[in-house]
Amino acid sequence: MNSYTPHPASFRDPAGFIFRADGKIYRQVNLVYAAQYERLMESGLYAQLTSEGLLIPHREIPANLMGSQHWYKTLEPITVNTISYPYEWSAVQLRDAALLTLKVLRTAIRFGMVLKDANPYNVQFHQGKPVFIDTLSFEPYDASKPWVAYRQFCQCFLFPVYLEHYLRLDLQRLLTTWIDGIPVAVTARLLPARSRFSLGVWLHVYLQNMVRQQAHNSSSQPFSQQKLLNLVTHLESIIQKLPHRSKQHSTWSNYYTDTILGQEYLQAKDQLFRSFLDKLQPASALDLGANDGYFSRIMAQRGIPVIAADSDSRCIENLYLSARKDGLTNILPLLLDISNPTPALGFRNEERASFQQRVSPDLVVALALIHHLCIGKNIPLPALAEYFHSIAPQLIIEFVPKEDEKVKQMLSSRQDVFAGYHEPYFEDVFSAYFTIREKSSIPGSTRILYLMKRKDTL
Under-70 pLDDT residues of the chain: 1-3, 213-221, 245-261, 457-458
Position 229, amino acid: L
Looking at residue 457, its pLDDT comes to 56
Supply the mean pLDDT for the chain.
92
DSSP tally for the chain: helices H, then strands E = 18, 16
Looking at residue 21, its pLDDT comes to 81
Looking at residue 352, its pLDDT comes to 94
Looking at residue 458, its pLDDT comes to 47
- Provide φ and ψ at 14, rounded to 5°: -65, -10
Looking at residue 369, its pLDDT comes to 96
From CA 331, how far away is CA 127, in angstroms rounded? Answer: 8
Task: For residue 296, give the 3-state DSSP assignment.
Answer: helix
| Contact criterion met (CB below 8 Å) for 342 and 336 | yes
From CA 445, how far away is CA 306, in angstroms rounded? Answer: 27
pTM comes to 0.91
Strand 306-310 and strand 285-288: the pairing is parallel
From CA 172, how far away is CA 110, in angstroms rounded? Answer: 33
Strand 394-399 and strand 363-366: the pairing is parallel
Angle at 157 between CA 35 and CA 233, to 5 degrees: 75
Looking at residue 444, its pLDDT comes to 84
* pLDDT tens string 212-269: 766 555 455 677 899 999 999 999 999 999 887 656 666 655 655 555 567 788 899 9
Looking at residue 12, its pLDDT comes to 87
Max distance between CA atoms of the chain, in angstroms, equals 73
Q: Residue 231 to residues 196, 240, 438: CA-CA distances in angstroms?
A: 19, 14, 59
Looking at residue 414, its pLDDT comes to 84
Looking at residue 252, its pLDDT comes to 54
Angle at 182 between CA 198 and CA 354, to 5 degrees: 140
Q: What count of Cα atoms within 13 Å lies in the side-chain half-sphere of residue 427? A: 12
Q: Which residues pair with 365 in a beta bridge?
A: 287, 396
Looking at residue 215, its pLDDT comes to 58
